[in-house]
């Protein structure tokens, strides 16, 4: 690269921190890429590191949030064994249901405070991990959990958190998100704060083998949605792009086999890594209309989040690509669509939407929201709530309420 006369490596541009001076003296902001991720311990058997990880972040009496399914599968007993072997005295809370509820989190926090616990551990799927984050929020900030809806409302430090995901898809174990069900209004609220990125995420693919088939499919499609939406997000950057594209490749290659052959190591490893990479992509690039819409269906009907994403994603791809299809070409190539770079971008984006739908069909996801209980009478309410969801902010195409209503009707 030729150097500028002033010695800068950027000819004609003087870099000045958050601003730069371009020819003519005008100032423009410098594009900064921020990338936040926890320490990651990855691989079969990594659950054995739980005690040491908890100790390293200051645990003496860790508070472990889980659910009855993890207890039945035997993973809680193994986790407790590792914690006790490290000299810790864990407290267990297992009153979490899918799509964690506001009152569940507040009850868990009451138990946390009464037990004088310290480090918070989430063992399970996204619901357990989001509930654990909710306990941490209340411990450091007080009040009611619903008060923290939105971006950067968690202003005070929270206790250290260690997360152990048992599903391959939610990305909650590496993200700055927590999603909570508002039971009075039947909606989901999204809490986004850098403080919610865990200190450590322990990803042991062994835990994935005890997922039921439907959950493998749902969480896998959730991870695929994270990857696609983060790649086209207004907030994407080169650091998130590579993770998003690799996640698309891993998930489209391994999801179907992980459903059909749940005990095979290869597909489970592929899905664990794909979910991880999609998670670190979306926590830094944020998401889009699919998630903004999906949250509302989940809040209204307590429907599985990943299943709703699998229904909505093809429709949102087509909607966004109608404005600018070029960004979808690398995604299509990552998804295995041959000659993606040799066809018109609009055609490629349509093929990608079809490929997502084909994968959803292959793993047993319904073709429409009506199969989940959504009716045309719900559409206006769902769309109105979508317009207030933080994830819509980074969707690559502006969307009005009538646009969102049309998307919901197309997906019925």
At 64-116, the pLDDT tens digits run 999 999 999 999 999 999 999 999 999 999 999 999 999 999 999 999 999 99
Confidence of residue 340 (pLDDT cuts 50, 70, 90): confident
> Taking 70 as the threshold, does the pLDDT of residue 29 lie above it?
no
Token pair recorded at residue 143: 């009040």
Q: Which of 14-23, 104-113, 262-271 has the lowest mean pLDDT?
A: 14-23
Residues 6 or more apart in contact with residue 407 via CB below 8 angstroms: 289, 293, 312, 315, 316, 319, 399
> pTM (2 decimals)?
0.90
Q: Which of 82-86, 146-150, 337-341, 406-410 has the lowest mean pLDDT?
A: 337-341
Confidence of residue 34 (pLDDT cuts 50, 70, 90): confident
- Look at the alpha carbons of 326, 327, 331, 333 in this order and tell me if their dihedral is positive or negative: positive
> Taking 70 as the threshold, does the pLDDT of residue 19 lie above it?
no
Max CA-CA distance within the chain? Answer: 69
Which whole number is the average pLDDT over 252-279? 96
| Mean of per-residue pLDDT scores for the chain | 92
Which pLDDT value is given to residue 1? 42
Which pLDDT value is given to residue 259? 95
Summarised one tens digit per residue, pLDDT across range 153-206 is 999 999 999 999 999 989 999 999 999 999 999 999 999 999 999 999 999 999
Taking each helix axis from N to C end, the angle separating 289-301 and 213-232, rounded to the nearest 10 degrees, works out to 140
Token pair recorded at residue 198: 């865990």
> Taking 90 as the threshold, does the pLDDT of residue 30 lie above it?
no
Confidence of residue 33 (pLDDT cuts 50, 70, 90): confident
The percent of residues in the chain predicted with pLDDT above 90, rounded, is: 89
Confidence of residue 16 (pLDDT cuts 50, 70, 90): very low
Which pLDDT value is given to residue 341? 84
H/E element holding 264?
A: none
What are the structural domains of the chain? 39-207 (3.40.50.1970), 211-411 (1.20.1090.10)
Among 189, 215, 207, 70, which residue's Cα sits nearest to residue 134?
Answer: 189
Q: What number of H helices and E strands is found in the chain?
A: 14, 12
Give start and end residues of each alpha helix (H) in 63-118.
68-73, 75-85, 102-114
> Could you give the angle at the alpha carbon of 311 between the alpha carbons of 305 and 320, nearest 5°?
105
């Amino acid at each position: 690269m030729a150097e500028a006369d002033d010695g800068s490596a950027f000819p004609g541009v003087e870099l000045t921190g958050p601003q730069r001076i371009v020819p003519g003296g005008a100032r423009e902001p410098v594009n900064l890429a921020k990338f936040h991720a926890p320490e990651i311990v990855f691989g079969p058997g990594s659950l054995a590191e739980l005690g040491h990880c908890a100790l390293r972040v200051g645990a003496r009496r860790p508070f472990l949030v889980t659910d009855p399914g993890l207890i039945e599968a035997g993973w809680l007993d193994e986790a407790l064994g590792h914690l006790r072997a490290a000299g810790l005295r864990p407290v267990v809370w297992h009153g979490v249901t899918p799509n964690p509820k506001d009152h569940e989190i507040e009850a868990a926090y009451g138990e946390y405070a009464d037990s004088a616990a310290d480090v918070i551990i989430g063992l399970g799927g996204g619901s357990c991990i989001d509930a654990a984050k909710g306990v941490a929020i209340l411990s450091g900030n007080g009040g009611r959990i619903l008060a923290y809806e939105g971006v950067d409302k968690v202003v005070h430090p929270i206790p250290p958190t260690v997360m152990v995901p048992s599903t391959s898809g939610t990305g909650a174990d590496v993200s700055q998100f927590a999603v909570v069900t508002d039971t009075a209004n039947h909606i989901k609220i999204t809490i986004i704060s850098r403080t919610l990125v865990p200190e450590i995420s322990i990803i042991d693919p062994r835990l994935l083998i005890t997922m039921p088939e439907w959950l493998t499919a749902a969480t896998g499609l959730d991870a695929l949605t994270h990857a696609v939406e983060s790649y086209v997000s207004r907030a994407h950057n080169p650091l998130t792009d590579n993770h998003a594209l690799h996640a698309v490749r891993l998930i489209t290659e391994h999801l179907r086999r992980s459903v059909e052959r749940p005990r095979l190591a290869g597909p489970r490893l592929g899905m664990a890594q794909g979910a991880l990479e999609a998670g670190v992509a979306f926590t830094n690039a944020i998401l889009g209309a699919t998630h903004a819409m999906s949250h509302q269906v989940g809040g209204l009907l307590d429907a599985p989040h990943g299943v709703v994403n699998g229904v909505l994603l093809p429709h949102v791809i087509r909607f966004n690509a109608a404005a600018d299809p070029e960004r979808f070409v690398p995604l299509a190539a990552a998804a295995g669509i041959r000659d993606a770079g040799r066809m018109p971008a609009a055609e490629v984006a349509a093929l990608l939407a079809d490929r997502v739908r084909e994968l959803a069909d292959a793993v047993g996801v319904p073709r429409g929201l009506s199969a989940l209980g959504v009716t045309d009478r719900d559409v206006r309410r769902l769309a109105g709530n979508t317009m207030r969801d933080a994830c819509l902010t980074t969707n690559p195409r502006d969307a009005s309420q009538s646009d969102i209503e049309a998307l919901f009707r197309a997906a019925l």
